[in-house]
Chain A
Amino acid sequence: MAEVLVTPDVEAASVAYLRAGLGVLADKVATKVPAAMPNNMVRVSLTGGSRTALVQDAAQLTVECWSANDPTASMLARTSQAYMLAAAGVTAGGVFVRKVETVGGVQYFPDPDTNKPRYQFTVRWHVRPASI
């Protein structure tokens, strides 16, 4: 049997990384939106990706940012994007990110459930799976 290589938990890593980077800009950074959504909310979701090589995984992360008004939501998304792109070559949330690719830039993507302004973007973090 070939060596078993497990991709690191990039959702948890990116949440911890963004939480530390955004600080007070975001009331909550998580993978789930609570029933009572805070004013400035950032949600990170693993929306796909692929094992590009035996020891490289391109994890696709979509980051949604809600806020009370359009400019604040946009600023939150653009700042989050800056942090996600800056993760290239550093250890972010305990995971070393080898390379970052943009899949989709920051876009206005209204939320039908909350009617709050939402901006989102998608990146790929290239990370190294580890043997177990």
Chain B
Amino acid sequence: MAKTKFKWNTAGFEAIRRSPEAVSLLESKVDAAASAAGPGYVGSVVQGVGRGTLGRAIGTVFTGDFKAIRDNAKHNTLMRVFDRLGG
């Protein structure tokens, strides 16, 4: 029986991590989470620096003003929208 060889296409992974589609998907999730959190919460997507997983796009939702900081401290709002960032 012929042996099957398997080889990871690392360049392909790299391309997917940096693709506009991946960034767009992340942006939509981050925006949904920030909107669900409410006014004052901000979403951001930045491209990582470096090769491999370091170079993937990184999405963040955070408090953008004092009112949101206080709201999060009182209600754990960011923890409650955590699932919206999932796959």
Contact = CB atoms under 8 A, between A and B. Distances in A.
Interface of A: 45, 47-50, 60, 62, 64, 103-104, 109-113, 120, 122
Nearest to A49: B83
Contact of B79 (A110, A111, A113, A122): A122
Interface of chain B: mostly helix, strand, loop or mixed: helix
Interface of B: 70, 73-74, 76, 79-83, 86
Question: What is the interface of chain A mostly: helix, strand, loop, or mixed?
Answer: strand
Nearest to B83: A48
Contact of A50 (B70, B80, B81, B86): B86
B73 to A, nearest CB: 5
A72 B76 CA distance: 22
